[in-house]
Amino acid sequence: MKSIAVRIPEVLARNVAGFQGERGREWLGRLPELVAEFAGRWELTLGEPFPGMFYNYLVRAVRADGTGAVLKLGVPGGPIGSEADALRAFDGRGCVRLLEADRDGGAMLLELIEPGRTLDEVEDDDRATRYAAGVMKRVRRPVPEGRSFVTVADWSRGLNRLRKKFGGGTGPFPERLVERAERLYAELLASVTGTFLLHGDLHHGNMLSARREPWLAIDPQGVVGAPGYEVPPFVRNNLSGSADPARLVGRRVCVLADELGLDRERVLNWARAEAVLSAWWHYEDDDPEWRRAIPLAEMIGSVRLTA
C-alpha cells in the first residue's frame, strides 16, 4: 500500500503510545498508509496538518467537488468511534457535520469550519459564556433509539476505580473531596428527571466560530445525562488569568443555569462532582495535570453562589 509523508508530532506520539499501548504504537507506525488509504477512498487532496494534535491526526483536505474538509484519524476501538456515533446523532445541529466515516478504521471526514476561531478568543467572559449556552442548547437532543451511548452514571463509576486503586482509601486525593463527589453523584443521579444526548466536553477550545451557525462544537464524546452535566467542562476552563477564579466559576454557573433554564445550585453541584472525577481521570491516564486538577476541584467545591 502506498503511504504519504506524515510528520507525527511528539505530543501525539507520546499520548497515543501512553494511552493506547501497543495498539497505539502499531497505529502510529501505519499512520502514513492510513492517511493515503482514506485520502484515496474519499478522493481527497490533502493540505497542511492542524497544529495542536494530542490524540488524533487531523489534516486539511479538499474534496473532489472543491469543498474543504478535515480528515481525522484515530486509533480504531478508541474514543474516535464514539465520536463518530455522536456526530451522526447530532447531524450538524450545533455541531460539526460528519461527511464520511469508517468506524472500524478509525477515520472520519468532517466539515471544515471557517473562520474557525475558538471561544478562547472572545475576551468578554459573560459574552463567551452566553455563546457557550447557545451551543449547549443547540447540540442537546433526545437520546436516539437503537444506539448505545455511555452515560453519566457510567462515568461516575470512575470514583469506584479510585477507591479500588487505593484499597478503599483515596491516596493523594483528599478524603473529604472524594466523599463529597461520591455523595453528590449519588444524589444528583437519583433525582434526574430527564436525560439527553450531550456533547460531554464543551470547553472553550471545542467551540469554533462558523458561517452556518455562529458557533459550532467539535470533538463530542457523546454522553447521556441531565442537561446540567454539559456545564462543568466549560466553567472550570480558562481560569488561570482570573484574579478571583472562584467568583468567575460562580458567575459562569449563574449565567449558564439561567440561559439553560436550570437550577443554579444543582448545576454547581454537577461541577463540584465532575471536577473530582476529572482529576481522577488525569491520574488514571498518568497525566501530570492531576496535581493541578485537585486544587482546582477544591476551589470549585468552595464556590458559593450569589444573586
Q: Where are the domains of the chain?
A: 10-111, 119-302
Phi/psi of residue 251, nearest 5 degrees: -65, -45
Of 269, 163, 151, give the one whose Cα is nearest residue 221: 151
Q: Is 126 annotated in the active site? A: no
pLDDT of residue 55: 92
> What is the sign, positive or negative, of the torsion defined by CA atoms of 156, 159, 160, 161?
positive
CA distance 305 to 307: 7
Helical (H) or strand (E) element with 129: helix 125-139
Q: What is the CATH number of domain 119-302?
A: 3.90.1200.10
Which CATH number does 10-111 carry? 3.30.200.20
- In the set 201, 263, 285, 286, the catalytic residue is 201
pLDDT at position 226 is: 97
pLDDT tens digits, the chain, 307 residues: what are they? Answer: 567 788 999 999 999 998 889 999 999 999 999 999 999 999 999 999 999 899 999 999 999 999 999 999 999 988 999 999 999 999 999 999 999 999 999 999 999 999 999 999 999 999 999 999 999 999 999 999 878 899 999 999 999 999 999 999 999 999 999 999 999 999 999 999 999 999 999 999 999 999 999 999 999 999 999 999 999 999 999 998 899 999 999 999 999 999 999 999 999 999 999 999 999 999 998 889 999 999 999 999 999 998 5
24-33: burial string, b at 16+ Cβ within 10 Å, e else: beebbeebbe
- pTM, to two decimals: 0.94
